[in-house]
Amino acid sequence: DIQMTQSPSSVSASVGDRVTITCRASQGISTWLAWYQQKPGKAPKVLISAVFTLQSGVPPRFSGSGSGTDFTLTISSLQPEDFATYYCQQTKSFPPTFGQGTKVEIK
């Protein structure tokens, strides 16, 4: 199985801050990576597929980058509705595996 490791596990930030979350795969996955946002009590919502392709309706302040084993999700200017937990997922092969999550908290 491909293991996904996210860092940090949590980050405290203020509205307007730039936030970067990192995801590392245990083996190369090219650009087979997705990012999700999950708010308390809600199902995850896919933000980005194929490393940098924003899903419909996702604000452009979200962006993704990377390839191979190292990836990042960047929120360019944090908004109040962005406080949530974010997960990466490798989409290359079965079993699909998720990172452990990064909680973005209000500073």
Interface residue list for another protein (CB under 8 A): 1, 32-34, 36, 42-46, 49-50, 53, 55, 87, 89-101
Output 17 or 24, the one with its CB closest to another protein.
Answer: 24
CB of 11 to another protein, least distance (A): 16
Q: Which residue, 66 or 99, is less far from another protein as judged by CB?
A: 99
- Compare residues 75 and 102 and give the one whose CB is closer to another protein: 102
Place of tokens 């933000």: 47
CA separation for the pair 63, 74 (Å, rounded): 5
Minimal distance in Å, beta carbon 43 to another protein?
4
Taking the complex as a whole, the smallest distance from the CB of residue 101 to another protein amounts, in Å, to 5
Count the alpha carbons within 13 Å of 25 in the hemisphere toward its beta carbon: 26
Measured CA to CA, the distance from residue 58 to residue 47 in angstroms comes to 6
Query: Checking phi first, is residue 104 left (phi over 0); if not, alpha (psi -120 to 50) or beta?
Result: beta
